[in-house]
Amino acid sequence: MPLYYTATIRERRQFDHLVWQSLIAPEIARTARPGQFVLVRVSPSFEPLLWSVFFLAGADHHSGTVELLIDPRDSAGGWLAGYPVGTQLDVCMPVVPAVMPNPTTQTLLLAGVGPTLPALLFTARQYAARLSISLWLTGDEGYLPPPFLLPATVEVQTSTGGVAALFNLLTVSPVDNPIRWADQIIFALPPQLFSMAVEAIRTVRLRWEHGFAQVIVARPLPCGLGICRVCQIETRHGWQRCCIEGPVFDLRDLRLPVL
């Protein structure tokens, strides 16, 4: 069941082309977890469907704030980048599965590209105090999350060589391949890269168990509430909606697209 709140833009900064916003939203900050997203529109609004989806980049229950990283190029959510401090927003947070490292995980690899990258940022910040974390990101120059938002203990590797560069970055050295030493991997990927993720794992691991690799699926969530079913993805358990049953799935559960 989605939960509806009013939030206020508390702080706004621009990092290269990305815009970072901190929202006063104490009810959301208390329960938010990495991998979850919010639906946002300017308040007041009586339009029931015109929401934009933003994956949370952080949450602090002490200050009652949540954080967004906004790409102005995003046709669905780029509009929020221009709003000033003090703007009131309607915010809806669907109750969806979150990123959950396994209890035995000590070294966590985060790797991704696309609109769900803020979720990896949130994951790194949430678990940096108790896990050894390496964060590998690819994207266009000036549109990657700024590393200085992360704790100093998080190793960060980035590339601006295009979408497929993520797996070139991960597999450049067979000896030092981070997939080899990671206890668990959290990917943030669009469906067209699922097969590359599977192949990258298979090159260094003879077998990998259920729970080893999770994916925060990067694809449009037009309604964000499970109504339109546009975001459905095929899994071993049938067709599931990314905005309700996801957006976090086990990689082994996903039916790979036929290329």
How does DSSP assign 45-106, residue by residue? ---SS--EEEE--EEETTTTEEEEEE-TT-TTTGGGGGPPTT-EEEEEE---------TT--
pLDDT of residue 149: 87
**Edge-first strand listing for the sheet containing 58-60:** 52-55, 37-42, 88-93, 3-15, 18-24, 65-70, 58-60
Query: 5: closest CA among 50, 66, 80, 60?
Result: 66
**Cα end-to-end distance, the chain, whole Å:** 36
Residues above pLDDT 70, as percent of the chain: 95
Average pLDDT over the chain, rounded to an integer: 89
- Check pLDDT > 90 for residue 107: yes
Cis omega (within 30 of 0) on the bond before 94? no
CB 98 within 8 A of CB 36: yes
Phi-psi map region of 95: left, alpha, beta (phi>0 left; psi -120 to 50 alpha)? beta
For residue 237, what is the DSSP state?
A: T
Mean pLDDT of 87-115: 92
CB-based contacts of 90, cutoff 8 Å, min separation 6: 4, 5, 6, 7, 40, 41, 42, 43, 44, 45
Q: Do residues 109 and 184 lie in contact, with contact meaning Cβ atoms separated by under 8 Å? A: yes
Nearest to 21 by CA among 40, 2, 3: 40
Instruction: Provide mean pLDDT across the span 132-146.
Output: 90
Record the pTM. Answer: 0.92
| pLDDT of amino acid 251 | 94
26 — pLDDT class (breaks 50, 70, 90) = very high
Assess contact for 222 and 251: CB atoms under 8 A. no
Q: What angle do CA 20, 100, 150 make, to 5 degrees?
A: 35
Mean pLDDT of 162-167: 78
For residues 37-63, average pLDDT: 85
Distance from C-alpha of 118 to C-alpha of 114, rounded to nearest angstrom: 9
| Side chain identity at residue 96, one-letter code | V
Q: How far apart are CA 173 and CA 246, in angstroms?
A: 32
Identify the pLDDT of residue 259: 41
Give 201-215 pLDDT, tens digit per residue.
Answer: 988 887 888 999 999
